[in-house]
Structure 1
């Protein structure tokens, strides 16, 4: 029984390599020729496909363990790529199980409160609304077909190649720590481990928060990364100044504050994180 990874970027490639090393047949689906060549360079079968206009051969998915890691479209509030992908699965052999990578952003602003999986989603940003729409479409498909589905709501990912180096080098400012929202993280290698365990023993229909359980103010995160890399800390500005100086994307993150609980992840999936905080995770990020 093989593995298919739709959206085989950094995390997907790491998952694929882990299966490859175990002798499992694995294929990564990517959008560009360059991405396909990168997979082939590490002996991963590559399928080049445009998820905005997918044409899926029936043999590509049936009986596979399917990871859906592809990003949603860049605009709007609907996950049209998931909708079209699911439409292509109609009257075709079903995958054995689907693991869908969503975001903790679906919870919206929780005013710094602790958040577990029982909290109703209330996304604010369109990017989070698209992810929730994707969740709902996969869930409806799972209920209709009986195919197993696990949803992972992932916090901010850091790790090799995923530190805000350019932002720090360019001297972009940040609000004072006292005014910063609470943010959450997961090391990319722990996310890879979690995705594989979710496929192995995640309960169908369940949602799991994927984070290290060590939330902190966003500004403190940037400062800790800067100190670790030997770079200057971001200049401090007020929230009012931030409205004029920071990008719309960063401002959207500043409007949301929550402390993610990973108790369900640890208890039900019995995952032991290798990097439960930044102190241990940053040295494994360069």
Structure 2
């Protein structure tokens, strides 16, 4: 089988170079690839350059043509409002060069509620939340562009992302409640490092027009996640509320997660992308988050 090193092109462009984008950029640089990152804030240019990444200053909502690109990682979120991803659609329409492949981070919210069933990537899309509708629209835009001779689109349907610096510390300190474990929906997770590595595998091995679940394959409940985090961080466990009390107490955004329950199958991730998560469950992944943060503090980076 071809290796990841052999399958990746010599250069890549990253649109939306936040936490996950930076992890991908570092990994690509370690593999000897040239990396360009689109950023709007000029203050982010110097830190990127220090990593060996070439910054391209651009507002994705007022895009220019980037020319020929062998590989694009689109990690930029949709705009906050509406049910369409006007940002991605506008950016694609502005391009005149050839883009060979796009790896896009979508969300498992495109399925809506599945009643806790195990589902694979052939599950019909039935988004209920605004975030799910916008991501489903982005998937359609990419597949439509591919059908018209555009870039080969590889779609990663991603659930909750956790990792160093991404744990719900403030939420736990504030004592915000959760829906009690017995009524809490199933939720799926992936460590940020595993997501970044999976994105590289998608670039190397993903099939055009194909969607892949990127999850650790060990779903638990939302309540379980927050309780585990509290115990790990030495913080009080969050109050657990019944269904009706939780509906009144939780924000609409948080409640939207409570209305969707599903368990993601990951056979396609493992078999087609040749990728198995380094952190197969929260038991392994959460302690690694603290270990990484301790290392950063010791080196004086944070």
TM range (shorter): over 0.9
1:203 aligns to 2:207 (yes or no): yes
1:156 aligns to 2:165 (yes or no): no
| Distance in 1 between residues matched to 2:43 and 2:110, nearest whole Å | 31
Structure 1 counterpart of 2:78: 72
Q: CA deviation at 1:33?
A: 2.4
The 1:46–1:258 alpha-carbon spacing in structure 2 relative to 1, beyond 3 Å, is same
Query: Paired residue for 1:212, among 207, 213, 216?
Result: 216
Q: CA deviation at 1:40?
A: 2.5
Query: Paired residue for 1:244, among 231, 238, 248?
Result: 248
Partners of 1:75 and 1:127 within 8 A in 2? no
1:116 aligns to 2:116 (yes or no): no
Partners of 1:213 and 1:262 within 8 A in 2? yes
Partners of 1:104 and 1:153 within 8 A in 2? yes
SS in 2 for 1:145: coil
Structure 2 counterpart of 1:26: 35
Structure 2 counterpart of 1:270: 274
Alpha-carbon displacement from aligned partner over 1:16-38 (angstroms, at most 9, x marks no partner): 11111222110111222233333
Structure 2 counterpart of 1:83: 89
Segments of 5+ residues of structure 2 without an aligned counterpart are: 1-9, 291-302
TM-score (norm 1): 0.95
Partners of 2:108 and 2:159 within 8 A in 1? yes
| Distance in 1 between residues matched to 2:111 and 2:44, nearest whole Å | 32
How many residues in Structure 1 have an aligned counterpart in Structure 2? 281
Partners of 2:112 and 2:126 within 8 A in 1? yes
Partners of 2:156 and 2:214 within 8 A in 1? yes
Q: CA deviation at 1:245?
A: 1.5
| Distance in 2 between residues matched to 1:167 and 1:38, nearest whole Å | 29
Structure 1 counterpart of 2:44: 35
Query: Paired residue for 2:21, among 12, 16, 36?
Result: 12
Partners of 2:99 and 2:150 within 8 A in 1? no
| Distance in 1 between residues matched to 2:136 and 2:47, nearest whole Å | 30
| Distance in 1 between residues matched to 2:265 and 2:286, nearest whole Å | 21
| Distance in 2 between residues matched to 1:81 and 1:233, nearest whole Å | 39
Q: CA deviation at 1:228?
A: 1.1
Q: CA deviation at 1:57?
A: 4.1
1:232 aligns to 2:197 (yes or no): no
The 1:150–1:230 alpha-carbon spacing in structure 2 relative to 1, beyond 3 Å, is same
Runs of 4+ in 1 over 6 A off after TM superposition: none
| Distance in 2 between residues matched to 1:242 and 1:146, nearest whole Å | 46
The 1:38–1:245 alpha-carbon spacing in structure 2 relative to 1, beyond 3 Å, is farther
Segments of 5+ residues of structure 1 without an aligned counterpart are: none
Q: CA deviation at 1:45?
A: 1.2
| Distance in 2 between residues matched to 1:139 and 1:29, nearest whole Å | 22
The 1:57–1:146 alpha-carbon spacing in structure 2 relative to 1, beyond 3 Å, is closer
Partners of 2:65 and 2:97 within 8 A in 1? no
TM-score (norm 2): 0.90
| Distance in 2 between residues matched to 1:117 and 1:81, nearest whole Å | 25
Q: CA deviation at 1:204?
A: 0.8
